[in-house]
Structure 1
Amino acid sequence: MLGQTTGALRHRDFRLLWLGESVSQTGSAATKVMLPLIAVTTLNVDSFTMGLLNAAAWVPWLVIGLPAGAWIDRVRRRPVMIGCNMASAALLFWTMAAAWLDVLTVGQLLAVAVLSGAANVFFVAAYSAYIPSLLPPDELTDGNAKLQMSESAAYVVAPGAGGALAQAGGAVVGFLADGLTFLLSAALLTRIRSRESPVAKSPRGERALGREIREGIRFLAGDPYLRTILVCDAGMNLFLAGTQSVEIVFLSRTVGLSGGVIGALVAAASIGGVLGAMLSPWLARTAGTARAVLLCAFCGGPFGLLIPLTSDGLGLLAFLAGEFCLTACIVAGNVVIVSFRQSYCPPGMLGRVSSSIRFLMYGTLPVGSLLGGALGGALGDRDALWVLYLGNALCALFLLRGPLRTGRALPVSTG
């Protein structure tokens, strides 16, 4: 029973946030499998066009990522999150209407990807800065682990449905379902009672906004812990974004799998994310937060090299093992890193620092998506995956150039 829960779920308002995100992530997970399959099977796109579609969702981070973070530090976060959920729902309903009228085009998908990506920029900036207002510092790791666990569980449950919908031509139903999840998430956010801390008064105007952006960048660039982790994560994101451009095309065309089988494979492999989220608090306590980050980075990358070995039949085990272990390490590392950042950064800087980090991390995604599409076209899907997963594994070496290698635990706060 909820009344007997311990940890982060003891807090009613966190439960509402967690439930809303769980529902929304389930719908989004189905769409992330369904959308590329529709693009491949209905619109007949090639690897490069798939790269463009993947890149489009991340381009807004390059354009508005930094000012969004500075602006979020000036306003209350919950109304921003509600508005972003409503905008995302409207965009999905628009796409649903185009699919229903049989006028859906690649250009429309690109437009929706860019606009929904812009909404996601503001939502994520507000979301990361909002969680510490709902939980005490000693429960942030547990709260982030539960949020990551829900997101990973969504990728277990939803991709099979997404693949089946795409195979059956159910784009209309899929977009409708995802849009409704955003509406439900917005409704749950409106029920949160906790009052946010008063927003610090900041000078208005573009010049003041620019100064606040520079303060966040200077704080990030001057801190050896944040800087080292960021360089490693940005490099990994670059190569993993490339794999996303190629992987569905590889499984569909090179390996010869149906949409339903692809969805089932993605769902089964995503159980690794659930396991990683479950184990992350224990790993942080047992090994120490610094060593946990190193373990996740160095252990996860090599498993990705199993994925290009995938073939039909028993060869599918290579995909399952590689994706399962890689996802487990990525999710566990992310929980530890995000919890560290939320407890380490000053509250008045958290929006700016988080958005500066995501500006660089997510800014690599459109580049990586285009790189993956280009490599897929030039080398073929399988050889492109070899190059991309090798690059991802080598990025862990960046962590050896910073202070993480010398200590057991990451510091708790800057002050």
Structure 2
Amino acid sequence: MLLWAGQSVSEIGSMVSLVAIPIAAVTVLDASPLEMGVLYAVGRIPFLVVTLPAGAVIERVAKRPVMLWCSVGRALVTVSIPGAALLGSLSIAQLYAAAALNGLLMVFFEVAYHGYVPVLLERDQLLAGNSRIGASQAAAQAVGPSAGSGLTGLVGAAQAVAADAVSFAVSAVCLALIGMPEPKTAPAGPRMRAEIAEGMRFVLRHPVLRKTTACSATANLFVSIAVPLEMIFLLRVLDVSASRAGLLISLGGLGGVVGGAVAVLLGRWLGTARVIWLVPLVAGAAGFLVPAAQPGPAAVLAAVGWFGSMFAIVVYSVTQRSYRQSICPPELLTRMNASIRWLIWGALPLGGLVGGVLGNAIGIRQTLWISVAGLWAAFLWVFFSPLRGVRDVSALTEAGRPGR
């Protein structure tokens, strides 16, 4: 409960920054689409560079202290942004540096976090636990942007980021209060490179994990093309105010709240294997409404499109994450998660740079059309997988084949 509570508060704070930092970059620093793409990319480059070694390192140590000190570090890095603004020295270079450091700490936190959840929960509790986590993340995406735009209106965009620093401090306190002991950590293996390779082989040789990982990586690539441009799209193309921009993003985030709340029910009704491919292909098609939005009342189409996309992504994420946590041997869990995160997060900086370049070259709206088409098509990976041959993931063998 403490882990969930602390992370829920931290997620809300991060969503405040997700709105406030781009608003500051666009309205205060007059950032171009390319600069917005670079800002997004530098915060995600650590995912590509350090995720795999982080998995091997964290498997040897207790995970809770890693998460605690990462939260403390992210609080200090984040508070530097309003500090620089108060001194009148905020620059795009400052935002780049903060994004890179936050990204580095986030990698270690997330790898430890996804290895720590199965420590706290039994296998038959994973789907419900991940559903609660997914719903909390989506709730943060619904509440955080409105809070961020509201704080921006009250104290300014850069100063609003202080709320994120406070949320990281709350997360650190909650982690410090968890009293449940962790199992003994794995002894040092033969070589870090060999251990990393073992986790990667498990993912790439498993017929279902290979497909879900390819799906997630492709989806992340196309999502990250759009994310750096969303605030420019709202403020400059649709000509909405900063407060209305936050409201539209929040309304879109409600789709994830609903998805997290009904993921378990959908799994029982449709089957846990079917929801992984069926829900994204049906509900995810709503994403095509985003680039179709126009100035005026039709701007709400962007929120409707984000609602459908978030609903699909959260249902998919909760269900496939629970499946992979349940089938992986405990001694490989951290390295398996690190391998998957390296593959799917590694697409983020590339997508951000592509989005920035395309936004400058062909325009914001045209780039968003490319993004939503690629995101929807990403789920064809799981459509053409062993999942389509069964109703529930429990019908798959541990090797990912139908038959159990």
Counterpart residue identity of residue 106, structure 2 = N
Instruction: Report how many residues are paired.
Output: 398
Matches of 1:136 and 1:203, distance apart in 2: 26
Alignment match of 1:105 (pick from 91, 95, 100) = 91
Q: Does 1:301 align with 2:284?
A: yes
Counterpart residue identity of residue 126, structure 1 = A
Alignment match of 2:263 (pick from 275, 280, 301) = 280
CA contact (8 A) 1:301 1:389 kept: no
Counterpart residue identity of residue 191, structure 1 = L
Counterpart residue identity of residue 131, structure 2 = A
- 1:414 alignment partner in structure 2: 398
Q: Does 1:60 align with 2:43?
A: no
Matches of 1:349 and 1:96, distance apart in 2: 41
CA contact (8 A) 1:70 1:351 kept: yes
Matches of 1:352 and 1:390, distance apart in 2: 32
- 1:155 alignment partner in structure 2: 141
Matches of 2:154 and 2:177, distance apart in 1: 37
Q: Does 1:380 align with 2:363?
A: yes
Matches of 1:105 and 1:30, distance apart in 2: 19
- 2:130 alignment partner in structure 1: 144
Matches of 1:312 and 1:100, distance apart in 2: 34
- 2:402 alignment partner in structure 1: none
CA contact (8 A) 2:145 2:246 kept: yes
- 1:392 alignment partner in structure 2: 375
CA contact (8 A) 1:233 1:361 kept: yes
Matches of 2:259 and 2:335, distance apart in 1: 28
Q: Give the 5 Å matches for 1:179-328.
A: 179-203=165-189, 208-328=191-311
TM-score (norm 2): 0.95
The SS at the match of 2:346 is: helix
- 1:50 alignment partner in structure 2: 36
CA contact (8 A) 1:57 1:113 kept: yes
Q: Give the 5 Å matches for 1:75-114.
A: 75-114=61-100
CA contact (8 A) 1:55 1:370 kept: yes
Matches of 1:118 and 1:76, distance apart in 2: 19
Q: Does 1:130 align with 2:116?
A: yes
Matches of 2:25 and 2:153, distance apart in 1: 12
Deviation track 1:363-400 (CA, whole Å, cap 9, x = no partner) reads 10111111111111111111111111111111222223
> How far 1:313 sits from its partner (Å)?
2.5
> How far 1:248 sits from its partner (Å)?
1.1
TM-score (norm 1): 0.93
The SS at the match of 1:366 is: helix
Counterpart residue identity of residue 224, structure 1 = P
> How far 1:413 sits from its partner (Å)?
7.5
> How far 1:263 sits from its partner (Å)?
0.3
Alignment match of 1:117 (pick from 80, 103, 120) = 103
Deviation track 1:303-343 (CA, whole Å, cap 9, x = no partner) reads 11111111122212311221111111111111111111111
CA contact (8 A) 1:241 1:365 kept: yes
Matches of 1:84 and 1:285, distance apart in 2: 37
CA contact (8 A) 1:39 1:106 kept: yes
Mean CA deviation greater in 212-221 or 283-292 = 283-292
Deviation track 1:254-293 (CA, whole Å, cap 9, x = no partner) reads 1101110000111111111100000001111222211010
Q: Give the 5 Å matches for 1:346-385.
A: 346-385=329-368
- 1:40 alignment partner in structure 2: 26
Alignment match of 1:341 (pick from 320, 324, 336) = 324
CA contact (8 A) 2:248 2:300 kept: no
1:292 to 1:91, Cα distance in 2 relative to 1, 3 A: same
Matches of 2:146 and 2:313, distance apart in 1: 22
Matches of 2:189 and 2:321, distance apart in 1: 29
CA contact (8 A) 1:74 1:201 kept: yes
Counterpart residue identity of residue 64, structure 1 = V
The SS at the match of 1:309 is: coil
CA contact (8 A) 1:343 1:413 kept: no
1:187 to 1:116, Cα distance in 2 relative to 1, 3 A: same
> How far 1:96 sits from its partner (Å)?
2.1
CA contact (8 A) 1:47 1:376 kept: yes
| Structure 1 unaligned spans of 5+ | 1-14
